[in-house]
Amino acid sequence: MIIAASAPLTVVAGGVTTSFAVTESLGVPLGFLLIAVILAVFAVGYTAMSRYITNAGAFYAYIAQGIGRPLGVGASLVALVAYNAMQIGIYGLFGFQLSIFLETKFGFASPWWVWILLCIVVVGVLGVNRVDLSAKVLGVLVALEFLVVIVFDIVALGHAPEGVTAAALNPAALFGPALGIILVFGVAAFMGFEGAAIYGEEAKDPKRTVPRATYAAVAIIGVFYAFSAWAFSVGIGPSQVVEQSQTFGPDLMFVFMTDQVGVIFSDIMTLLFLTSLFAALQAFHNAVARYFFSLGREGVLPTWFSRTSRSGAPWAGSVAQTVIAVVVVAGFALTGDAFGAAESMFGDMAFLYPVLTMFTWLTNTGAAALVLLMAVIAVAVICFFRRNNRGLSVWTTVIAPVVSGLALLWVFIMILSNFQLMLDQDEPNATTFILPGMIFVAAIVGIIWALVLRARKPEIYRQIGHGTEPGAYGTEMVDVVEQ
């Protein structure tokens, strides 16, 4: 689930080229490694906390028990905004890519939103079934993603027009003026890595497997992205990779493979690019469903959200996420197509409407929100273990959270200060401020709602973040997945 959410092929094809193009720096490969180190240090306290708190609303429960219930509820709404934004934003890229592929190969022109609606149905069906069904489907898709990127890496290193050079691995390329921008664009590639804790209630041994999955995912993703980004620079040539990335964008990988291997393999890569997006869609959908479940179980949201299927899947939360996706996609479709807004906003680039709006706006907003949540989690870890360190070291309970928390806060500030650049805007407009503003509005609304619950329903307020503990309000434990 973690690696599916990070979408390896999508990151290598789109994220790497975007980073090279925007930063105009060869430090992108080392940037992935630096982010992996920051997140690995963050995971020290995060996974330590996961051994004592098992809750489908991971961030929500950790912050509620670590810092306080009001901030925990605020964090839960920020998490819902983040995961919904990431998931629905990816739909925009999926619909566009599939529509363009069908038109290019078969001459079949179709609206981008049609394929999104069909995909929403498939994602929703998998979402209401037991989690291991989703895991098996995504496992196959992720394995194919890794395979095709490895083939690309081998071809790139074999082509090497300027030789197999370590120019992109020179620390001077990273630790320069572009460092902040490299981290801003690179951190989105890791979003979803924190998701192991969300599945703790459905795992057979969460105290062991959640930390293992988190560390493994950070290591695998970080090394794989760094190596592939370096191979990208070698395959195109260090002196040309920035210029070519600016010229072709995400298509550069497919153009390169068409020239080197042939159009058939490039088409296979395109199809796997689509399945990569689908895998990420499913992973984020599952995360949203489990947050709804956790909040419904504890009475923060209507208890209807706590309903699960016989297999333990949070079907009510899954249905809710599906409805949200349909409504938001319909809004973008009507705005972009029916009323001609795409033409007026983007001129000759109108066909890119779902990518330039839905995908770009929402995924960047979601990534910013998740980075902020992780910075707050670092504080929650310190507060949680300050009351009882449970025999853990100072490195685990204080030093690692402080170091990673400050680093993540700095990355969040860099994201906000460069949000216009991330949205590819020549000049700031309303979206430059409204989109990140949604994060703070969600937090404020959540805090206020928690205070209302404290005054009006103290029995529910007492259980906020404690929904899996014996005797907790509305507790209905999810059946353990046996297979």
Percent of the chain surpassing pLDDT 90: 46
Identity at 195, one-letter amino acid code: G
Average pLDDT over every residue of 128-146? 78
Q: How many CA atoms lie within 13 A of 360 on its CB side?
A: 16
pLDDT at position 228: 94
- Is the predicted pLDDT of residue 329 greater than 90, yes or no? yes
Question: Quick one: which of 25, 37, 41 has its CA closest to 180?
Answer: 25
Domains of the chain, first to last: 2-461 (1.20.1740.10)
Identity at 123, one-letter amino acid code: V
The pLDDT confidence band at residue 238, using thresholds 50, 70 and 90, is very high
| pTM of the complete model beyond 0.75 | yes
pLDDT at position 472: 47
Average pLDDT over every residue of 86-95? 92
Q: Which residue has the higher pLDDT, 338 or 164?
A: 164
- Helix (H, G, I), strand (E, B), or coil: what is residue 309? coil
Average pLDDT over every residue of 245-252? 86
pLDDT at position 207: 82
- Is the predicted pLDDT of residue 469 greater than 70, yes or no? no
pLDDT at position 8: 85
Question: Quick one: which of 197, 192, 181 has its CA closest to 49?
Answer: 197
For 427, other C-beta atoms within 10 Å of its C-beta total 6
Q: Which residue has the higher pLDDT, 83 or 199?
A: 83
- Give the Cα separation of 238 and 266 in Å (integer): 23
pLDDT at position 379: 96
- The per-residue pLDDT for range 386-412, each reduced to its tens digit, is 988 888 999 999 999 999 999 999 999
The vertex-9 CA angle with 358 and 25, nearest 5°, equals 85
Mean pLDDT across the chain: 86
- Number of residues that make up the chain: 483
Average pLDDT over every residue of 146-165? 92
Identity at 435, one-letter amino acid code: L
Identity at 142, one-letter amino acid code: V
Cβ burial, residue 339 (10 Å; 0-12/13-18/19+): exposed
pLDDT at position 349: 54
The vertex-274 CA angle with 92 and 314, nearest 5°, equals 70
- Is the predicted pLDDT of residue 71 greater than 90, yes or no? yes
- The per-residue pLDDT for range 264-311, each reduced to its tens digit, is 888 898 898 898 889 889 888 988 998 899 899 889 999 899 888 777
Question: Quick one: which of 9, 3, 2, 1 has its CA closest to 257?
Answer: 9
pLDDT at position 186: 86
- Is the predicted pLDDT of residue 381 greater than 90, yes or no? yes
Average pLDDT over every residue of 68-78? 94
Would you tell me the crossing angle of helices 28-50 and 179-187 to the nearest 10 degrees? 50
Question: Quick one: which of 465, 475, 454, 419 has its CA closest to 64?
Answer: 465
- Is the predicted pLDDT of residue 471 greater than 70, yes or no? no
